[in-house]
């Protein structure tokens, strides 16, 4: 059973985009960071019309994650505090062998970067995952590809 406060994921660069990407569901994401620590951060995100505030702690593949939903007014009040630590991306959701591969195509200062993430319910599924051929190098835990770093640099 998945721990509701533990995020287990793997991250990959994209070797080539899968065919017919436009046929999959997608959303536009805007996010910024209210607090950036070495081992924890607080993120503000708007995914379509859904606004959230998320606390994450820990490195790499398994991190503590706690999230609450905000209404648009709450989001608007907090958003100015993220100045200097923001990013935008289009996220595609591709079903793959009972999982979902999330493809993030970044915009703005990160234009051209494409990364895929897969979240797992447990460590067994994490270790047994075999990525499709179109995924490139695994960068799980590589700080240069963390959203925190991309939003800040």
Rounded to 5 degrees, what are φ and ψ at 40?
-150, 155
Full residue range of the structural domain in which residue 74 is found: 6-152
pLDDT tens string 24-73? 999 999 999 999 988 899 999 999 999 999 999 987 678 899 999 999 99
Q: Is residue 40 part of a domain?
A: yes
DSSP 85: S
What CATH number did the domain enclosing 81 receive? 2.40.320.10
Q: Is residue 15 part of a domain?
A: yes
- pTM for the predicted model, two decimal places: 0.91
Mean pLDDT, range 115-126, rounded to an integer: 94
- Of the residues 24, 33, 92, 106, only one is catalytic, namely 33
33 is catalytic: yes
Q: Is residue 1 part of a domain?
A: no
Q: Tell me which residue of 38, 32, 85, 42 sits closest to 59, measured CA to CA.
A: 38
């Amino acid at each position: 059973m998945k721990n509701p406060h533990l995020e287990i994921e793997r991250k990959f660069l994209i070797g080539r985009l899968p065919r017919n990407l436009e046929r999959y569901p997608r959303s536009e994401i805007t996010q910024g960071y209210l607090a950036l620590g070495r081992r924890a951060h607080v993120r503000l995100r708007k995914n379509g019309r859904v606004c959230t505030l998320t606390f994450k702690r820990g490195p790499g593949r398994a991190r503590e994650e706690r999230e609450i939903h905000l209404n648009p007014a709450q989001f608007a009040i907090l958003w100015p505090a993220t100045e200097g630590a923001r990013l935008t991306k289009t996220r595609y959701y591709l079903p793959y062998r009972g999982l979902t591969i999330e493809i993030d195509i970044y915009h703005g200062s990160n234009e051209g970067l494409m990364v895929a993430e897969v979240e797992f319910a447990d460590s067994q599924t994490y270790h047994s995952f075999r990525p499709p051929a179109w995924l490139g190098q695994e960068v799980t835990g590589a700080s240069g590809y963390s959203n925190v770093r991309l939003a800040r640099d």
